[in-house]
Amino acid sequence: MADDITSRLPADPHAEHHLIGTLICHRDKVAEAMSIVTPADFTDDRCRSAFENIVVLEETSDAPDCGCFALELSKRLPNGWDQVIEYIDGSFTAPSVAWLCVNLERLSNRRKLICDMSGLTMDAGRVVAGDDDLMEQAAAIAFDHMRTMDRGDDSTDLVAELHAAYSRAEAESMQQTQQRGVPTGFIELDGLLTHAGFMPGQLVIVAARPSIGKSAWLLDCALAMLHKGHNVAIFSMEMDREEIANRVASKLAKVHVRQLVAGALDSQAFERLQQGIIQLAGRKLHILDRAQISGAGIRAKARQLIAMDDVSCIMVDHLGLIQPPNSREQNRVQQVSALTRDLKIMAREIGVPVIAACQLNRQLESRKDDDKLPKLSDLRDSGSIEQDADIVLMLHRDDYYAQRTSTNFIATNLADMLIAKQRNGPTGRVKLQFDATTATFRNLTNRAQP
How buried is 86 (Cβ within 10 angstroms: 0-12 exposed, 13-18 middle, 19+ buried)?
Answer: middle
207 in helix, strand or coil? strand
Provide the residue range defining the domain that includes 252.
178-443
Based on the domain organization, do 432 and 287 belong to the same domain? yes
Residue 14 within any structural domain of the chain: yes
The answer to whether 44 and 86 have CB atoms below 8 angstroms apart is no
- Burial degree of 74 (CB within 10 A; 0-12, 13-18, 19+): middle
103 and 184 both lie in a single domain? no
Q: Are the C-beta atoms of 42 and 51 separated by less than 8 Å?
A: yes
289 and 423 co-located in one domain: yes
| 248 domain-assigned | yes
Select from 97, 128, 159 the last residue of a domain. 128
Let me know whether 307 and 394 are in one domain.
yes
Radius of gyration of the chain (CA): 29
Helix (H) or strand (E) holding 420: strand 414-422
pTM of model > 0.85: no
Per-residue pLDDT reduced to its tens digit, 49-101 = 999 988 888 878 888 888 888 888 888 888 888 888 888 886 777 778 888 88
Say whether pLDDT at 104 is over 80: yes
pLDDT above 90 covers a percentage of the chain that reads 15
| pLDDT tens column, 389-400 | 899 999 998 888
pLDDT at 177: 47
Per-residue pLDDT band for 383 (boundaries 50, 70, 90) equals low
Q: What percent of the chain has pLDDT over 70?
A: 80
Single-letter residue type at 166: Y
Is residue 350 situated within a structural domain?
yes
Q: Angle CA(147)–CA(351)–CA(206) in degrees, nearest 5?
A: 150
Q: Where are the alpha helices (DSSP H) in 127-177?
A: 131-150, 158-174
Regarding whether 89 and 221 lie in a shared domain, the answer is no
In terms of domains, do 210 and 336 share one? Answer: yes
Average confidence (pLDDT) over 191-206 = 90
pLDDT at 374: 86
Q: Report if residue 77 sits inside a domain.
A: yes
Where b means 16+ CB within 10 Å and e means fewer, 204-215 reads bbbbbbeebbbb
| pLDDT higher than threshold 60 for residue 411 | yes
Residue 302 in this model has a pLDDT that exceeds 50:
yes
Domain end position, chosen among 128, 163, 188: 128
| Spatial distance between the Cα atoms of 267 and 273, rounded to a whole number of angstroms | 10
Q: What average pLDDT does this structure show over 317-332?
A: 72
Inter-residue contact 298 to 350 (CB < 8 Å):
no
Is residue 1 scored above 50 in pLDDT? Answer: no
CATH at residue 356: 3.40.50.300
Assigned domain for 155 exists: no
Residue 406 and residue 342 share a domain: yes
The CATH number assigned to the domain holding 72 equals 1.10.860.10
- The secondary element (H helix, E strand) that includes residue 80 is helix 80-88
Which residue type does 107 have? L
Domain count, the chain: 2
**380 and 271 both lie in a single domain:** yes
| C-alpha dihedral sign at 365, 412, 246, 257 | positive
Convert the pLDDT of each residue in 130-182 to its tens digit.
555 666 666 666 655 555 554 444 455 566 666 677 676 666 565 554 457 88
Residue 150 lies in a domain: no
Look at residue 326 and tell me if it is in a domain. yes
Query: What is the pLDDT confidence band of residue 357, given thresholds at 50, 70 and 90?
Result: very high
pLDDT score, position 353: 93
Q: What is residue 135's predicted lDDT score, i.e. its pLDDT?
A: 60
Predicted pLDDT at 221: 93
- Write down the pLDDT at residue 366: 73
DSSP 448: P
Burial tier of 378 (Cβ tally within 10 Å: 0-12, 13-18, 19+): buried
User: What DSSP designation does 127 have?
Assistant: T
For residue 426, pLDDT beyond 80: yes
Same domain assignment for residues 221 and 355: yes
Rounded to whole angstroms, what are the CA distances from 343 to 120, 140, 202, 218, 384? 23, 14, 9, 17, 12
Considering the domain architecture, whether residues 298 and 396 belong to the same structural domain is answered as yes
Query: Are residues 320 and 205 part of one domain?
Result: yes
Q: Final residue of a domain: which of 93, 128, 163?
A: 128
Average pLDDT over residues 337-343: 84
**SS3 call for 429:** strand
pLDDT, residue 205, reads: 93
With 0-12 CB in 10 A as exposed, 13-18 as middle and 19+ as buried, what is 62? exposed
Gap between the Cα atoms of 430 and 262, Å rounded? 35
User: CA 181, 184, 185, 190 torsion: positive or negative?
Assistant: negative
Categorize the per-residue pLDDT at 448 as very low, low, confident or very high, splitting at 50, 70 and 90. very low
Say whether both 116 and 189 belong to one domain.
Answer: no
Instruction: Determine the average pLDDT of the residues in 335-345.
Output: 83
Q: With a cut of 90, say whether residue 337 has pLDDT above it.
A: no
In a domain, residue 348? The reply is yes
Alpha-carbon distances, residue 195 vs 35, 78, 160, 357, 445 (angstroms): 35, 60, 22, 21, 21
How far is Cα 178 from Cα 186, in angstroms, rounded to an integer?
Answer: 16
Cα gap 330→130, rounded to integer Å: 18
Q: Where are the beta strands (DSSP E) in 269-390?
A: 285-288, 311-317, 354-359
How far is Cα 366 from Cα 102, in angstroms, rounded to an integer? 64
